[in-house]
Amino acid sequence: MLGEFLQYLFSGLTSGAIYALVGLGFALIYNASHVINFAQGEFVMLGGMGTVFIAAAGVPLPLAGLLAVLMATVVGFALEKLAVEQTRNASVVTLIIITIGASIFVRGGAQVAFDKQFHTLPSFSGDTPINILGATVTPQSLWVLGITVVIVLLLQYFFTRTLLGKAILATSHNPMAARLVGINVNAILLMSFGLSAALGAVAGILITPITSTNYEVGIMLGLKGFCAAILGGLGSGFGAIAGGVILGVAEALGAGYISSEYKDVIAFVIILAALFFMPSGLFGKRGTDRV
Output the smallest distance, CB 226 to another protein, in A.
Answer: 7
Give Cα 251 distance to the centre of its chain: 17
> Contact with another protein (CB under 8 A): which of 70, 78, 111, 158?
111
**How many Cβ atoms from other residues are within 10 Å of residue 53's Cβ?**
17
Output the smallest distance, CB 210 to another protein, in A.
Answer: 22
Q: Per-residue x/- marks for another protein, 2-41, CB under 8 A?
A: ----------------------------x-----x-----
Q: Does 49 bind another protein (CB under 8 A)?
A: no
Q: Does 169 bind another protein (CB under 8 A)?
A: no
In the Cβ-directed half-sphere of 220, how many Cα atoms lie within 13 Å? 12
Beta-carbon contacts of 211 under 8 Å, excluding residues fewer than 6 positions away, are 217
Q: Does 177 bind another protein (CB under 8 A)?
A: no
Q: Which is nearer to another protein, 61 or 90 (CB)?
A: 90
Q: Do 40 and 204 touch, CB atoms closer than 8 A?
A: no
* Touching another protein, residues 188-247 (CB under 8 A): 219, 223, 226-227, 230, 234
Q: From residue 98, how far is each of 76, 79, 84, 94, 218 by CA, in Å?
A: 13, 9, 8, 6, 17
Q: Does 151 bind another protein (CB under 8 A)?
A: no
Cα first-last separation, the chain: 55
Amino acid letter, residue 37: N
Q: Does 290 bind another protein (CB under 8 A)?
A: yes
Q: Which is nearer to another protein, 10 or 26 (CB)?
A: 26
